[in-house]
Amino acid sequence: MTLPMKSIFGPLLVLPICTFTVAGAEPVASMEIPAKTRVVQDAGGYNSWPMLQAIGDRLVCVYSRGTGHNIGEDVRAAYARTSNDGGRTWTSETVVADTPGYGEVPVGKGLDADGAMLLWVRRVGKDWQQNLYRTTDGVRFTLIATPRLAVRPMQITDVFAVPTAGLMSLWFAGDYGDKPTNSWGTVTSKDNGATWTQTVIESGLPKAQWPTEPAAVWLGDGRILAIARTETGPAQWQLVSTDYGKTWKRTQTNISDVLCSTPSLVLDSKTGLLNNYYYHRGKGLLRRRVVDPRSIFDQSSRWPASEVVATGSDVTFDAGNVNATAIGGTHYLSFYSGKGADTSVLALSMPAPKK
């Protein structure tokens, strides 16, 4: 079921309402005391959809604020705050993008070849744009690219580096309707983000087969692993490539404690462990699954049980969208939580799991 958004695009621009049930009980790992969350932004409004990235020892949290769960409203803009003490305190808000006549939302982040932060911002108004910004300090953001793409993405997601390919992001396109018009693929850049080449991996997909909001990691030896959200259930998707992102295989995982749960992945270089963070909407639980990626790369139904690492509101769409980054042996997470037009961006930190 979908709920039309208030937008100049009318019924084609929709807010997905996920309605699915999961058969069987989902195993849950032993729970520690949920981590303490700290407020990044709680000024009046619908503060939502944060992106969190480490630049050296500095955390940069970019988020969007409007009046409700609406990507195209003119009052919606993108803002940033930074933290130099591991998320305990945050600087004053700065504006990333606020274009008259457009709603702007951060949709993907990462680092370029020089260690600067890259940020994809979706701009929706009289037209759609995917704009790429660059920052070295999390305060001043410079627009470096607005790629012209044959297939208009709903979102371009996190940036990561792939040998031989350059910088890469995954994207997905569609209108959340029931017609088989959905697609997904990659965009790559060989000039550090200045220009991008789009590749379609799958098209003509029904919503039930559509992987959305994917997060990906480079594993080495040509291998990439991505986890994507499902819009209808029953479980998250796993996308894998063994040839540097030229071709992909899509399978369903056993990660079924989800409801439109956007994943965020952290691969620990020291332990080799892959961490899949996602917010279980409707339950108010921020979950994590930790795995050796070699054990599930070709067997996507073997993900271990989840553990709860934080809690938030259990309102279906007014909480969610965790985004993760790491500094040394510590993981940092951001998500949003609240109700109606009163939501906050929250952050927390936790030690990386040991091997």
Q: Which CATH class is domain 40-351?
A: mainly beta
Q: Given the structure tokens 């680092």, which residue do they identify?
A: 111
Residue 316: pLDDT above 80?
A: yes
- C-alpha 120/C-alpha 104 separation (Å) is 10
Q: What pLDDT is stored for residue 26 in this prediction? A: 52
Give the 3-state secondary structure of residue 148: coil
What is the reported pLDDT for 7? 33
Please give the Cα distance from 195 to 214 (Å, whole number): 21
Average pLDDT over residues 6-24: 39
Distances in Å between the alpha carbon of 268 and those of 5, 203, 301, 327?
39, 33, 22, 10
In sequence order, what are the residues at sequence separation of 6 or more whose Cβ sits closer than 8 angstroms to the Cβ of residue 85? none
pLDDT at 8 over 50: no
Buried b (16+ CB within 10 A) or exposed e, 249-264: ebebbbbbbbbbbbbb
pLDDT of residue 160 exceeding 60: yes
Percent of the chain with pLDDT over 70: 91
- The DSSP line for 318-346 is SSEEEEEEEETTEEEEEEEEEETTEEEEE
pLDDT at 18 exceeding the cut of 70: no
pTM of this prediction?
0.92
